[in-house]
Chain A
Amino acid sequence: MPKDEAWKYTNLGRTLPANLVLADQPQEVVIHKNRGEVCEQPEDILFTGIDGQHSQPRLKIVLEQGAQATIIERHEGEGAYWKNMVTEIELGRGAHLHHIRIQNDAPEAVHTNMVSFKVARDALYNGFSLNSGAKLSRHEIHAVIDGQNAEISFNGVNLLAGEQHGDTTILIEHQAPHSRSNQFYRSLLDDKARGVFQGKVHVHQKAQKTDAYQLSNALLLSPEAEMDTKPELEIYADDVKCSHGATTGQLDEQPLFYLRQRGLNEAQARFLLIQSFVDEVVDKIVDEKIRDQILKETEKWLHVALKI
């Protein structure tokens, strides 16, 4: 993806807080699992932003052959700051990683995150990302699948209100045959929020039998919200199954009518429908405890946004 094209909808320079000071201690977290190591207990990592600082945290996750892990990455902070993060993920043969990311940075913060991936044969990555914080956030993922039969999934929920700007940009390169990729994102946009979803699947010539799917649904809750979507396919192999879908709109009238007919008031009916819209993605999280936690988070956001 050419640089200017990938940043088409997001203007970082205009949003960055002024007079930031470079954080003196670089924060670096490395998680390394040895061959065959299976971790039942999820690992929790917290990245905190400090007012007036420009921090460059790094997260490196390496899972050797056959290793399995669940990692929860949390983002919080106070005041105006710029968290410019780099994440590297390397999955060995047959490794399994469940990665949950909860981005709840401070309302005045800018959050940018560049994630790069290397996935070996038979490996599985299941990612979920909840984006509800920061004035401007950009989650950029560049994944290279160079092992056969690997599978990666990126699922996410973007909850944006006020003047928030949330950008999800994903590039998946299928470089080996028989690999699968999934992208499933849903966005709620209230007030003057602006959501961006750019997903690109690039299937190289040798990546025959690729199965790639991509879906972005957005609900605009206010007349001033905006959603920009650019789902892209670039395909050089012929024996593949690739498709994508994208929708933008408001709630359907019919289910709303159905619920009201059954005695719910309009606010309740809307709440229920919007909640189920979001929950469908959250359900992709395998770990029950984490899933419940996220469901609570989204419910809390909905109560505020829908004033119910």
Chain B
Amino acid sequence: MSISEKTIATVADMAGRYEAGFVTDIETDKAPKGLSEDIVRFISAKKDEPEWMLEWRLKAYRRWLEMPEPEWAKVEFPPIDYQDAYYYAAPKSAGEGPKSLDEVDPKLLETYEKLGIPLREQEILAGVQDRSPVAVDVVFDSVSVATTFKEKLKEAGVIFCSISEAIKEHPELVKKYMGSVVPPGDNKHACLNSAVFTDGSFVYIPPGVRCPMELSTYFRINELNTGQFERTLIIADKGSYVSYLEGCTAPMRDENQLHAAVVELIAHDDAEIKYSTVQNWYPGDFETGKGGVYNFVTKRALCEGRNSKVSWTQVETGSAITWKYPSCILKGDNSQGEFYSVAITNGRQQADTGTKMIHIGKNTKSRIVSKGISAGHSNSTYRGLVKILPKAEGARNFTQCDSLLIGDQCGAHTVPYIESRNKSANLEHEATTSKISEDQLFYCMQRGISEEEALALIVNGFAREVMQHLPMEFAVEAQKLVGISLEGSVG
């Protein structure tokens, strides 16, 4: 079934409708443009950090100056001018950091309401909003502006706060774990983050505690020419469980914005962490590819203890460029790592994403399910590593990578590395690439479903295996997002 000119026109109209693309007009406090040791000192001073933190940052900064840009990914972009961006921007009203919700600038509350993020605890608890309670840490440009349900979590012994707060309140935990999974010198982007990170979330779940509600962080870049460098650190102590969600959006800007985050997860004996991301950064202009966020993120989990488990679920629909490989180091015996991913690219987007599963302990298991959907002029790549070290007796891996192509101007690529050094390890990998079946489309349209809707329906079906691993609230949102992201692609 060929696509009529008319459909292409309608679709072009609809395309580029990025719903989160508005700008909040709010006064901000910014660091001078550019990057230098002074800026690092400036950020540290702004955050009122202890001396050891500043030293850590400076060490990372000096290292960063010497590190080469990672060039192995299948993405293309002009060299980044690190001096042409702001490394710190905070709404003026945020002042000394988040206090109680009543003190948060109404303009900010409005912004989040528009994005559909519930911040008003009372309303949620009173059942005004029809959702189950989720505790949210809200990061606006460089600072955390609010964290909800802190008191309720405290009762359970859970620490959930911004990382700046954790550096001051819980230095022993931060000192012990920060950089233990992703060392500052891991790669250039992680190193930059270590030097200039401004905020992010910190979670500590004490032994034996099942976190009473979903925790989440909502990142938003608002300011022009600003990079966002957040750092998340989640520690699940023995026998604990936590589910954590992350969401991101940014306004439509003609300039590229850099987002270089670091996420570190540590799971001790019998602990489980479930980490879900719905990434919807501004993808750039649909036709020309101008603007958009460079999403260069280093995410890694350490399954330190026996029987620990980490599961990454991601729905990647935004960003001009995605460079992201949430990984698991399976160190504890019987530990498990999971990676479920849906990456949708459209327009001129480029995504190079996947995972690394490093099996160190005995009987470690990993499972990778990756679904890539490319449309328009975009390119999407799955790049993954499964590595079995000699001591990983009885390790097991299953990998499945499926790609779907919509239109003949896009590309889908699969680059798995499978390295086994233990004979008792069992590794399976399979991948397929195909296009949307014409029969399926025809069937839907025959029943009165429009071409666009049919496409969204089929793609959602294709991605179902991953979507069902998302927490309920997120799954609904993600499904809608799939439909929106595919506007303008037509099969």
Contacts and interface: CB of A to CB of B under 8 A. Distances in A.
| A and B: interacting chains | yes
Interface of A: 5, 205, 208, 218, 220-250
A26 to B, nearest CB: 37
Contacts of B405: 235, 237-238, 240
B413 A233 contact: yes
Interface size class of B (residues with CB under 8 A): 20 to 34
B414 A248 contact: no
Contact of A231 (B408, B426, B429): B429
A230 B418 contact: yes
Contacts of A248: 418, 420, 425-427
Contacts of B421: 225-226
A133 to B, nearest CB: 23
Interface in B412-456: 412-435
A228 B419 contact: yes
Contacts of A236: 408, 410-411
A245 B412 CA distance: 17
B355 interface: no
Interface in B319-356: none
19 contacts: A225-B423, A226-B419, A227-B420, A228-B419, A231-B418, A231-B429, A231-B431, A233-B413, A234-B411, A234-B413, A235-B412, A237-B408, A238-B406, A241-B434, A243-B432, A244-B429, A248-B418, A249-B425, A249-B427
A237 B433 CA distance: 10
A241 B432 CA distance: 8
B429 A229 contact: yes
Contacts of A238: 405-408, 410, 435
B353 to A, nearest CB: 15
Contacts of B416: 229-232, 246
B164 interface: no
Contacts of A220: 420, 422-423, 425
Given A238-B407, A240-B435, A242-B432, A250 B423 contact: yes
Contacts of B430: 243-246
A238 B408 CA distance: 5
A296 to B, nearest CB: 27
B348 to A, nearest CB: 15
B72 interface: yes
Contacts, number: 118
Interface of B: 72, 390, 403, 405-435
B387 to A, nearest CB: 9
A239 B418 contact: no
Nearest to A234: B413
Given A208-B408, A230-B416, A233-B413, A240 B433 contact: yes
B423 A244 contact: no
Closest 7 CB pairs of A and B: A220-B423, A238-B405, A249-B426, A229-B418, A243-B432, A246-B429, A233-B414
B423 A222 contact: yes
B431 A223 contact: no
Given A233-B433, A235-B413, 5 more contacts: A222-B423, A223-B390, A229-B420, A247-B427, A248-B426
Contacts of A237: 405, 408
A5 B417 CA distance: 11
Given A242-B432, A244-B431, A249-B426, A233 B412 contact: yes
Nearest to A210: B433
B401 to A, nearest CB: 9
A228 B433 contact: no
Contacts of B415: 230, 232
Contact of A205 (B403, B408, B433, B435): B408
Given A208-B408, A248-B427, A239 B432 contact: no
Q: Which of B72, B403, B430 has the most chain A CB within a 10 Å cutoff?
A: B430
A228 B418 contact: yes
Contacts of A231: 414, 416, 418, 429, 431
Contacts of B417: 228-230
Nearest to B415: A232
A306 to B, nearest CB: 14
Contacts of B418: 227-231, 246, 248
A242 B411 CA distance: 13
Contact of B409 (A205, A228, A230, A250): A205
Q: Which of B72, B418, B419, B430 has the most chain A CB within a 10 Å cutoff?
A: B418
A243 B417 CA distance: 16
B415 to A, nearest CB: 5
A198 to B, nearest CB: 9
Q: Which of B403, B407, B420, B421 has the most chain A CB within a 10 Å cutoff?
A: B420
A232 B74 CA distance: 13
A240 B413 CA distance: 13
Contacts of A229: 416-420, 429
B101 to A, nearest CB: 49
Nearest to A205: B408
Given A231-B429, A232-B413, A247-B428, A239 B420 contact: no
A270 to B, nearest CB: 13
Contacts of A221: 423
A223 B393 CA distance: 10
Contacts of A246: 416, 418, 427-430
A244 B402 CA distance: 10
B187 to A, nearest CB: 17
A241 B390 CA distance: 36
Contacts of B406: 238
Contact of A5 (B72, B413, B419, B429): B72
Nearest to B385: A230
B434 A240 contact: yes
Contacts of A250: 423-424, 426
A241 to B, nearest CB: 6
A273 B109 CA distance: 67
Given A230-B415, A235-B412, A245 B429 contact: yes
A223 to B, nearest CB: 5
